[in-house]
Chain A
Amino acid sequence: MRTPISKFLPHRRDVLRLGGYGLLGSFAEQALMPVEARAAGKSNPRGTARFAIVIELAGAISHLDSFDFKESAGTPKDLDVRPVRNNLYLSQRLFPEMSKEMDKVSIVRSMKSHEVVHFRGQYYTQAGRPLNPAIAPEIPSVGSVVSYEFEKQRRETDTFPTYIGCNLDTSGCGAITTGFLHPKHSVLDINLKAGVGATAVEGEALQVLDERYRLLHELDKAMAPSREGRDRAFGSFRDFQHSAHQVLGDARWPKAFAMTKEERERYGENEVGLGCLLARNLVQADAGTRYIHITHPDWDHHKNIFNHASKSNHYIRCNEFDRAMANLLRDLSATASPREKGKTLLDETMVVMITEFGRTPGALNGNAGRHHYNPAYISLFAGGGVKPGRILGATDKDGLTVVDTGWKYKRMQPKTENVYATIYSAIGIDWKKELTNTPSKRAYRYVDVLGATEMVMDDEIADLFV
């Protein structure tokens, strides 16, 4: 069930002309323009993580009914809120599993957004910057930037795409493209629940595939003369075939999708559960994928947020997220890193929960729900160098206003841009870098200081690491 508002914003979305700028299905030429970069200041990325997993709660989770718990007139009576550690209160009804894993997690409670609608909000959380319809076609998603940055780190044996998405097609804005970057940095978006994109080939089928691919290769050579002088799109599609074949032929690929019944039950047979399970497998495989963005849809509870009879409510969604993230953290922290003695996969993986905004505190609205609320909301961080157990920032007793920003800027709350600066920092990318050779000639800064309504600090949330 999609949120009503996203249903009546069809036109907003068509500014995101899918196609990597200039790639009108035929201008592959333009996408091969060399990218020019320069540093706009100095950032010192920490480089503490090899992987990043971003879990997007699309539709907006109510902050005061989750990780910044505040009793309100609208709070239902069955949440069973208990202290879990160091002044942290969590509903056992909603987060029984996460309650056991909070020793791995830090919370930011002072997030702020300027967005009020989902389409723009979810664009913001995927692109790391507000939507600017004038240049949207050229703006890449954060994952594509990461793919671009990590290209030179890919090893011979790496076949998996650097950037994999789970259920991005369920988000309000869909999967953002590579913008002006090369299409090869495109996300491979997989929706396990809908069964889309999860093609894994084994056994005899793999033999047949190999045989066919060899014939394709031979034919390719024979067809070269008739392809001479034709559009580069011909050649670039072959590149995708090559990567596709490599992935399909890699024994690790079907393994990534091999999920036992037990695992699926443990993580949950839903978008976020299966997404986190796949993410775990991809991190374990370390076969090329370094950045995973999972979208967990359907959080937009304007109506009946706590109504158990509702097909979608806060309980259901929280439980899904709870089991998914908790098990992900568990499994990652239980697996030793093959790269560094004494470290676990969680030490090498930054796991982040983001969302567009919060929900209105206080009493429920006329439809027994909560509306959008952007002055205060939450984000979760774990692994990849994050010092666990931190709670940064605080809201007032009602969860209405932020009374403590939680980081070094006392008058500026952290925003989505800062979350991404933090991620860039953890995975070792200079977030002050900018790419200048864009079609619009506007420099693309990894973290753009020109926010939608105010300046943004192009800084990580350093307090998470110390």
Chain B
Amino acid sequence: MRSLVLALCPLFAMGQTSEGFLRFPANEEIGALSAVAIGAKDNIYVLHRGPKPLMVFDRAGKHVRSFGDGMFQVPHGLRVDRDGNLWTTDNKLNNIRKFTPAGKLLLTLEGNFKSPDDLVFTSKGEIVVADTGNGRLARINTKGDILQSWGKKGKGQGEFATAHGLAIDAKDRVYVADRGNNRVQVFTADGKFVAEWKGFGNPFGLHVHGGQLIISDGDAHKMTHLNLSDGSIASQWGNPDTLQLPHLMATDSKGRLFVAEVNGKRVQIFGLKQASASLHGQDEIDAAHRVLFQPASDGKKNTAAITSQVAAKLPARAGAADVPLRNYIDEHIFGRMKKDGVPHARLASDEEFARRAWLDATGRIPAYDQLTAFLADKDPAKREKLVDRLLASNGFIDKWTYYFEDLYRAGGRMGYGLNLFHYWLREWLRLDRPYNEVATDLLTGGGKTSFSVPGGLYFARDFVKAKDDPDAPDGMDLVNIPDTVDEFTVTYGKVFLGLNLACISCHDGKNHLEKVNVFLVGKKREDFFRQAGFYGKTRQIMNWENGYQANQEYTVDDEAPGYDTKAESIVRVARTGGSSKPRFILTGEEPRAGQHDRDELARMLTTHIQFSRAFANRIWAELMGFGIVDPVDDFDLARYDRNNLPAGWALQPSNPELLDAMARDFQQSNYSFKKLMRRIMTSSAYQLSSQFDGEWKEQYNTYYARKYVRMLSAAELHDAIALATNKPAAFSSGTEKVPMVQQMSEPKKADKEVQGFMKIFGQSNRDEMPKKAPPSSLQAMLLMQSKIVTDRVLAMGGTRVEALLKESSTNPELADRLFMATISRRPTEQERAVAVQALDKDRRRGAENLQWALINSPEFIFNY
């Protein structure tokens, strides 16, 4: 006997509130419940494996009739067409049938199908059938004629293990739950492959709703929502307590999701909402109320008592376990934590997330208006949308141009080409050019270095001066080509491949690197020569006009005779011979006949997975605190495979599966830097708080179980001070004047005070590879006393303090706004009290001191 049960599921699925179950007629035997469909007027239809498989309910859930006795063996799929007719599939009878809701059989299609599981209707009125037993999809007309079919059994693209559930969207794209292959495949209605999505589990049933694909996982008893735009995971919910083999699904006009549960023999109804990450949603509270609030026998309600009882019953604050797994990154990160029993921090609050995202994406602290708007926004997808906005902003271009200028050490012998390089980088970032093309441009081409970036400008950076020639006129800058090529090979090895070839540029790995890098132990200096050999014919000739070097410019061409492995070296151990025939150190591949050596280098390098790994690792390190391989330019490829480790050595990457997944993702997204950023920033892993409850153990480090704080970079810090105080600077950059350091093409052009400040905070001089400066008391001294801070906190000359003093009517308001403007969050009660006390004592001076104190707080100095 079954009765209407408004049960409170013991563990709430995150935000997907169960509204209970469909009520079945008391005297009917219900079998395994396979499918549910909703008609145009929200009538509910159910298909199960009892004696009367088809059941009809009205929109209120009242049972109307059941039928179909004797007409099914293994009923599976159920759909309602535009006319309101019911279509079913049968796995044993291998047929498709069409009924009226009243129970009249209109059509049987058989002979072409084997164990069909599901079907969907296209906008043209055709039907796409999951012809599961035949491992294919078939598009048929309403008469049953097969118009087209595609697919076969298998694991590859366009193949299926079990083409189980189907869904179709407004653009007639067909989604196939490729159950067994743990993936969803997407096709056009005429069979063209569009995409493959995986990393969320094993799909059984599918449903398109609200820009998302909802997937039921009958193995794991959970539900996944993927974003239709790119297949990334938006949310996941459910567990074996709340779902008992969820199968096929439907939604009604109110957005309620009806899920057929095979084992549960029930249809459960869910309100599709997304709960906030850190606070209890209203629906949770309401549901708790419903259980506890039984109308008292006297009809009266004791609200206060109920509220406290409700509070006691509410599920534990979202912390340890319940974090939505938004994409494959989360699968890897939280999966590993779960496997090894590592606890993690809660998700960051909106305030924490906002400041962090702004800084990571744009190098700036959020502007007051934008921040308050974001905090007030109730859109459950606001974080994702914020990421998108930030990645599309000019700040993104500024910050990352600056970052890459540090990485590529923009300056030095780039000469006048530096300005060109600056704008070339900005263009790349603005257009999100594929990074493999960017790397190719930096490695190939020739010409005058101040005229074209692809043309050896980056190569010119590593210029090694030739030994002074007594016969040469004074000041003539001759280039030592082999030494320059060596330097550049080490450079691009680090920058593009994450490999430190410096050691083997002087000597064999053997007898030197046994304790340092197993991969390189097996490499010889000759391997380095042969890698350097790709540039063997490349020359860098100073532009010489009227007896002096003109324009700090070089001509780069490939007319040199080749890399001489016996050439004298100024900066390295003597070269004693060996081959320099170009050979790619990672694969042994040599340039193909008739091809240009450097073009081949660019091809081999950018198509190798290590190129993508190294880049993904670098960006991961920037956003997450440190690389999966750390340091990021010191990969030991002999320690990458956990099943193949050299004796006595540990695995080098903390999560090689994740790094490889990101690398492949990067490749498949056409080497899009923005997509990689987005992927990381929209994951829950990125959004964990730096605040961790409980005892942090050192072994948790590599699990990314919390956000690792980092100090703002020197440039970010300077700019943050300028932004917080609303007192921009005016730096020269090329022919422009820019207000922020991060917009400069040459930070060396900043005034002495700023340069000194930045140097103490670790600004790269762009002669060496960038590195982080450790905290020191000199940094603390500068923040306290440098004019960069002390001038700007004064209430004069249009500063923030001056403006807020005028705009704020009360001191508490002033305090709040100073906090928001400086550390991008509101003060707590206690903090406000301290601030107001200072303001009450002396409003102007107190405000200046307050902003000074906030700038000198870790909340300002760190990205946490």
Contacts and interface: CB of A to CB of B under 8 A. Distances in A.
A342 interface: no
Contacts of A248: 781, 784-785
A13 B490 CA distance: 13
A216 B857 contact: yes
A25 B710 contact: yes
B767 A7 contact: yes
A19 B771 contact: yes
Contact of A222 (B771, B778, B830): B830
Interface string B691-727: 1111010100100000011110000000000000000
Nearest to B864: A230
B522 interface: no
A238 interface: yes
A455 interface: no
A244 interface: yes
Most chain-A CB neighbours within 10 Å: which of B630, B779, B849?
Answer: B849
B775 interface: yes
Interface in B575-595: none
B853 A215 contact: yes
Interface string B461-501: 01111001110000000000001000100110010000000
Given A7-B767, A24-B772, A134-B515, A240 B779 contact: yes
B571 A117 contact: yes
B299 interface: no
Contacts of B154: none
A338 interface: no
A219 interface: yes
A27 B465 contact: no
A121 interface: no
Interface string B726-759: 0000000000000000000000000010001001
B752 A194 contact: yes
A318 interface: no
A209 B784 contact: yes
Contacts of A18: 762, 771-774
A76 interface: no
Contact of B502 (A11, A183, A225, A243): A11
B768 A14 contact: yes
B784 A223 contact: no
Nearest to A17: B771
A264 interface: no
Nearest to B850: A215
B291 interface: no
Contacts of A133: 502-503
B843 to A, nearest CB: 14
Contacts of A14: 768-769, 771
Interface in B837-864: 837-838, 845, 849-850, 852-854, 856-859, 861-862, 864
B776 interface: yes
Given A29-B698, A233-B775, A197 B760 contact: yes
Contact of B491 (A11, A196, A221): A11
Interface string B773-795: 11111111111111000000000
Contacts of B515: 134
Residues of A in contact with B, size category: 35 or more
Given A238-B858, A240-B779, A244-B784, A26 B710 contact: yes
B570 interface: yes
A243 to B, nearest CB: 5
A403 interface: no
A302 B468 contact: yes
Contacts of A7: 412, 465, 767
B712 to A, nearest CB: 10
A167 to B, nearest CB: 13
A16 B470 CA distance: 35
B625 A24 contact: yes
A340 B701 CA distance: 52
A234 B760 contact: no
B849 A228 contact: no
Contacts of B709: 25-26, 230-231, 233-234
Interface in A233-252: 233-234, 236-238, 240-241, 243-245, 247-248
B759 to A, nearest CB: 7
Contacts of B780: 237, 240-241, 243-245
Contacts of B9: none
Nearest to A206: B785
A19 B781 CA distance: 19
A252 to B, nearest CB: 15
B409 interface: yes
Contacts of B752: 194-195
Most chain-A CB neighbours within 10 Å: which of B710, B835, B857?
Answer: B857
A169 B777 contact: no
A8 B780 CA distance: 33
Interface string B225-255: 0000000000000000000000000000000
B107 interface: no
B630 A24 contact: yes
B803 interface: no
Nearest to A28: B775
Contacts of B776: 183, 186, 188, 240
Nearest to A231: B709
Contacts of A39: none
Contacts of B864: 230-231, 234
A102 interface: no
B516 interface: yes
B516 A134 contact: yes
Nearest to A190: B778
A361 B773 CA distance: 40
B468 A229 contact: no
A44 interface: no
Nearest to B713: A25
B308 interface: no
B756 A195 contact: yes
A199 interface: yes
A230 B690 contact: yes
A222 B838 CA distance: 13
A216 B849 CA distance: 9
Most chain-B CB neighbours within 10 Å: which of A4, A19, A169, A230?
Answer: A230
A227 interface: yes
Interface string B412-426: 100000000000000
B480 to A, nearest CB: 8
Given A10-B769, A11-B487, A219-B834, A199 B781 contact: yes
B810 to A, nearest CB: 19
Contacts of A222: 828, 830-831, 833-834
B626 interface: yes
Nearest to B468: A367
B849 A215 contact: yes
A9 interface: yes
B380 interface: no
A26 to B, nearest CB: 4
Interface string B3-41: 000000000000000000000000000000000000000
A366 B849 CA distance: 62
A212 interface: yes
A26 B696 CA distance: 14
A259 interface: no
Interface of A: 4-5, 7-20, 23-30, 117, 133-134, 161, 169, 177-178, 183-184, 186, 188-189, 194-197, 199, 201, 205, 208-209, 211-213, 215-216, 218-223, 225-231, 233-234, 236-238, 240-241, 243-245, 247-248, 302-303, 365-367
12 contacts: A24-B708, A29-B696, A177-B774, A215-B852, A216-B853, A231-B862, A233-B858, A236-B775, A237-B858, A238-B858, A248-B784, A366-B470
Given A219-B835, A226-B691, 16 more contacts: A18-B762, A20-B774, A24-B625, A26-B710, A134-B515, A188-B777, A211-B849, A215-B849, A222-B830, A223-B857, A225-B830, A237-B775, A240-B779, A244-B780, A248-B784, A366-B468
The 3 closest A-B pairs by CB, nearest first: A366-B470, A244-B780, A14-B769
